[in-house]
Structure 1
Amino acid sequence: MTKRHSADPAQDFHGAGAPHADTLVQRAKSEPLDDGGLRTSQILDDALTLDPRHHEAQVLQERLHQMFVPRWHFPMLADSARNRAYAEAIAAKVRPGDVVLDIGCGAGLTAMLAARAGAKHVYTCEQQPLIAQAATRVISDNGLSGRITVIPKWSHDIAVGTDIPERADVVISEIVDTVLLGEGALATLTHAMSALAKPGARTVPEWGALKAQLVESSGLLDQWRPQAAEGFDLSAFHRFARVAQLTPGEFAACGLRPLGPAAELFRFDFTNPDLTPARTATDLMCAAAGTVHAVLVSFEMQLAPGIRVANGMDSGGHWGRTAFLLDQAQAAAPGDRLAVTAQHDTSHLSVAANGPLIPAGEAAAATVWLNPAWRLRPPLREDGDRSAPPPAAWRPADAAGAGHQGQPCH
């Protein structure tokens, strides 16, 4: 390889514009970030225009982008199955002449899909200024500036008559995390449907459900709860690793094996969202022998009738997964069950295992005739006590109105 040398090492390292670029970099370092990084980004762009090889400008720009533009945007945009599902759902929901509100603009993809589907106008909001600026450029590059307006605001701050001329016929969003709740989807959609959408407005997605199932994975424990290192016992450190957030790569590497079917914990109506916290107690079943290491929580969303996306055991795509690790691994036989309690406050989810596995025979007795009206295990009270309530006379109406034990009311 031929090496190039210069009499002036600084000149060789930076470039002809280095002195002026240095000045801009120093200015960028002192610039406040109260505008979401817009001014700092422009200053660094200017510095790199003068000297494309300026080391400090490159490092600061990358640090700025990582601070304000979450890295999950890129695998999400590359998720062709997710993109196709949203494209089909938006085409099914948007009608010619519709006014569309798109919450969480990102790169502008869902807004452009709505415009392509025939919307009269799309108003898409993005609270991060750098992302909103980039989306505006993407939309312009695709010749859709006349039909899409990017609003650089949080949706809660949008006002009808000021930011958008009228309420929306369709509300589109993709503001969910691995357990649906972490990006504030329920609060955001509750506000949007009541304040920014017309009565009976259509939504994409329509609903989402959280599910849980028992899984076996020694790889999960090896990664999140290593027993020892260099002969030293590390088990006292394990209490810090109760919830494992798995990237798609980590999920594949851990080789999770399902031990039973997924049971629904909660269902959320995105067309008519509810901000009521909920709690449910249910038994997760083992259909195969193995060792229970964790409870895997996944979601399923219906974008439009017949069009769904999910991050379950058999799903691909960019979404990660969330596994709640048991305090102690438990050997399981077919028919065994694990009692769990799941709770959410509309923004966060918790899942706790309630004691050891219930052997198959006892689990069967706990659901006499498979009818909740006859269940022998007392329901879990708000204080966590399972002591039996005073006996009450059974009435046929009780059986008729009883729902699935694991299905909470919202």
Structure 2
Amino acid sequence: MQTNVTVLFLALLVSCSLQAQQDANYEESKVPDYVLPELLVTSKGKTIASARQWEELRRPELLELFASQMYGRTPDDAGITVRYELLTENPSALGGKATSKQVKFIFSNGEKELEALLLLLIPNGSTGKVPVFVGYNYKGNHSTLSDSTILYSKNFALVREPGHPDWQRGGQASRWSYDDIIGRGYAVATLCYHDIFPDKPGFKDHSVVSLFKGYGKGPEASDEWQAIGAWAWGSSRIVDYLATEPRIDTGKIAIMGHSRQGKAALWAGAQDTRFKIVISNDSGEGGAALSRREYGESIERVSSIQPAWFCPAFNQYRGKEQERPIDQHQLIALMAPRAVYVASAVEDRWADPKGEYLAAYHASPVYRLYGLRGLDSDEMPGIHEPVMNDIGYHIREGVHDVTRYDWLRFLDFADQHF
């Protein structure tokens, strides 16, 4: 009976999602006239004219608005400890091209412990320290390559019943171009996002947020962090671990996120400047796309997903995109002067490729304050014609996915900036 109820629930979720996509606006003629909130004017009306003024006056204001009105406030983690346990080390991974390490993270608040499992691949052919890509996977570390030695994480059993296709090894290997990444001299660190916050209703007690003071006591505050905030926090904990690895160059860390993890990657990059390159792939509403275009996925849709991704305050903007005090060009600008890259796909209209490009374009004035180059034109580049400035962008053929083409462009961008 439980299995039948679960199947019915998932079928209803899929049906509602498909209906939402069918009801979405996919016509440019229906995009409303809109005015973006000011990027370089403070709440008191002061015009920002220098990088120093940006960092001291405007950047803190925008960080506060995104925390209080959208992603939730990342709480003080002073009471949270993380221990690392090396579970396996294989110097002959990927046919001898890399050394793989599987590391258990043990998060504790002194009373409760939770685990996460990191897979780290380091190129064998490189001498000295190497740059690294950090990113979450969706279906477990075992899904990123066909290797019987890759361990299954504890939380994966919470979200996928025995026999589910997602237990298959290498099921999403196409999203992880390990041979290309390793071949170009980069390490890659990945962790299943369910280990940090299970993306399934009813399992919040198994997320890292349950370790923090005040969890579950009384009603949630309007700025209470949710899944995206937790995923962003978890990305920074991966960086903490990488600082203990002698082969990793911690001055050359890139974060890459796809879809909902593209949203989380941007929020992680906004808060943690140790990410020197921030890459958002097909992140759409709540990520790189401008809300005010009201194209594709809406605030009403993205804020209704359970478990919640955004803080409760974000719900007030359902159907009121034009009333938001912020928009996503300001989020992208928070990466400055670090490099940021936005990627889209032609058939991924749900994520609004044009809105993603325009948000990156409208973030460019902040980069110019640093003497850097953003996007020069509000006209999108052609398909497979990437722009590789300090703000980068490409749009490729195909659907909502991460492909080898995407990874090759991310590597090109990283080569340029690292």
Same fold (TM over 0.5): no
Give the TM-score taking structure 2 as reference length.
Answer: 0.23
**Structure (1 or 2) with the larger CA radius of gyration:** 1
Between Structure 1 and Structure 2, the one with more strand by share is 1
